Amino acid sequence: MMQGEFESMTTIQAVSPAFAPKPTAWGTFKTNPDLHFFLCDFHHMDPETPDASTFTARLAEMHQKSISPNGKYGFHLTTYNGNLPQDCTWTDTWEECYRNNLKRMFDLEEEARRSDGDFREIRDAVLDKAVTRLLRLLESEGRSIKPCLVHGDLWR
């Protein structure tokens, strides 16, 4: 988890330094192999919501400047949404990448809550119909999407 945070924040910081604190180190405590750490620059957080036009312009710039190292969607190691592992497997399409991640979240939810048939029916409809219908169009009939950084920890 700490390595994923370090690597992803390092990648974001390299492309768009204003969006992420500079990572310093990550590791495991020598005295406790089950205890880990992640260190980065400290920044005082402003309680105000950032200006939407400035924030979205910076976000668009980060997307435009970031480059996938292999032309695919994914990341070279697992990252986490809180304590939930994300599926960062390299894929050829945004549809497949998005579907894999959403399926992982559905699977974790089902595992945690022992869901019923209704949940599975909705999950299958979202994964097999909605994701396909909405995202496949973006990469069909000559259209393409450039793989770029997808993020959770952005600062202003």
Residue stretches of the chain with pLDDT short of 50: none
Q: What is the CA radius of gyration of the chain?
A: 18
pLDDT value, residue 131: 95
pTM of the model: 0.84
Residue type, 8: S
Closest CA to 38 of 72, 8, 74, 64: 8
pLDDT value, residue 46: 80
Closest CA to 135 of 105, 106, 92, 89: 92
Calpha distance 57→60 (Å, rounded):
5
pLDDT value, residue 153: 62
Mean pLDDT of all residues belonging to the chain: 90
pLDDT value, residue 25: 97
pLDDT value, residue 43: 84
pLDDT value, residue 155: 58
At residue 9, φ and ψ (nearest 5 deg) are: -65, -35
pLDDT value, residue 65: 92
